[in-house]
Amino acid sequence: MYNDARGAIKEILLASEKSGDALSYKDVSVLSNFINEQGKIIPRRITGIQAKQQKKITKLVKQARIAALLPFVIGKT
CB-CB contact of 15 with 23 (8 Å): no
The helix (H) or strand (E) run that includes residue 6 is helix 2-18
- The answer on pLDDT for 67 being more than 80 is yes
Instruction: Name the more confident of 65 and 6.
Output: 65
Cβ neighbours of residue 44 closer than 8 Å, sequence gap 6 or more: 50, 51, 54
Structure confidence at residue 57 (pLDDT): 94
Distance CA 9, CA 19 (A): 16
pLDDT single digits (tens) 5-63 = 566 677 777 666 666 678 899 999 999 999 999 999 999 999 889 999 999 999 999 99
Residue 60: what pLDDT? Answer: 96
Q: Which CATH class is domain 2-66?
A: few secondary structures
**Residue 1: which pLDDT band, with cuts at 50, 70 and 90?**
very low
> If you count DSSP H runs as helices and E runs as strands, how many of each does the chain have, helices first?
4, 0
